[in-house]
Amino acid sequence: MTSDAPHAPAVIDTTRPSVARVYDCFLGGKDNYEVDRQVFEQVDAVAPQMKLLARAGRNWLVRVTRFLAGSAGLDQFLDLGAGLPAAENTHQAAQRMNPDARVVYVDNDPVVAAHGRALLEENDNTRLVNADLTRPDEIFTDPEIIRHLDLSRPLALIHSSTVHHISDGENPAEMMRRYVELLPSGSYLVLSHFADPQDGGEGSALARCVEDIFANGAMGSGYFRTREQIEGYFGGLQLVEPGLVPLNQWWPDGPLLSHTTADQVALGGVARKP
């Protein structure tokens, strides 16, 4: 991964938790600080299932990317809120299917920028861009992004575990409506989101518990929305089978041998723009 912009010194605030670094804790990584580990430990103490959910989300994204780079024939990927590098990243999954696939990661966390560049700087078809994913028009006119992706051709727009960190006051529905509007015909939207089953069962209790920890702690955001709200983010696009489903049910690699409460509290889907 490389960047054409000058590398300004990263300013890292170690007094506030970062979404990317907290996820790194859930995945067992080491690129985090004490403030991030405190959030992780708060959640893990009452909802250890969330570690399973974080891994399920990563595995889901890999399966989705393989499908898009393989069967769907896409060669462009715009991964928003990419987070810290993991064992299998979008560019690796895509380029195993198509070595010419081009991937642009977008994030505004300085730790993500530092680690991403260090780990991926030798990959000519992969870039990291520092930008705000909540501003669709700025993303689609960013000079670095349009230098490496042809935004007039079909691409995969990835919102994996991003929208559930955007508050209702920031109007995520309008943000996603604009993203869908900007996508060229033939593109795919990839989206996963915390979900509240609203059935009065263990899944709903887990959703409310974790949302409360996020809301009242240093993290500040993490919203478990309804199926209807999440479906609305796809803006009338054509969902690929099996539709909007728990992450481990989206074309799993094999039979589902176990089920946990965490399986109920996140949904993922892939949809095509005609």
Burial of 30 (0-12, 13-18, 19+ CB in 10 A): exposed
At residue 6, the pLDDT reads 43
Whole-number pLDDT of residue 68 = 98
Alpha-carbon distances, residue 163 vs 150, 197, 221, 224 (angstroms): 24, 17, 10, 10
Determine whether 42 is exposed, middle or buried from the number of CB atoms within 10 Å of its CB (0-12, 13-18, 19+). Answer: middle
Q: What is the pLDDT of residues 244-262, one digit of tens each?
A: 999 999 998 777 766 777 7
Kindly report the pTM of this predicted structure: 0.88
121-177 tens-digit pLDDT: 668 899 999 999 999 999 999 999 999 999 999 999 999 999 999 999 999 999 999
pLDDT band at 115 (very low <50, low <70, confident <90, very high): low
Query: Which H/E stretch holds residue 42?
Result: helix 34-46
Q: 102-107 and 126-130: which strand pairing?
A: parallel
Nearest to 219 by CA among 21, 47, 10, 12: 21
pLDDT of the residue at 30 = 74
Poorest-pLDDT segment among 1-10, 91-100, 253-262: 1-10
Residue 113 has pLDDT above 70, yes or no: yes
> Residue 177 and residue 236: Cα distance in Å, rounded?
10
- Dihedral sign computed on CA atoms, order 175, 176, 180, 181: negative
pLDDT, one tens digit per residue, over 161-217 is 999 999 999 999 999 999 999 999 999 999 999 999 999 999 999 899 888 887 876
Tokens of 231: 């479906």
Express each pLDDT in 57-95 by its tens digit: 989 999 999 999 999 999 999 999 977 776 688 999 999
- How confident is the model at residue 5, as a pLDDT? 44
Q: Rounded to an integer, what distance in angstroms lies between the CA atom of residue 57 and that of residue 143?
A: 30
CA-based angle 271:79:136, to the nearest 5?
A: 80
The pLDDT of residue 4 is 47
The domains of the chain, with CATH numbers, are: 19-272 (3.40.50.150)
What is the Cα–Cα distance from 100 to 104, expressed in whole angstroms? Answer: 13
Q: Which residues pair with 3 in a beta bridge?
A: none
Helices and strands in the chain, H and E counts: 10, 8
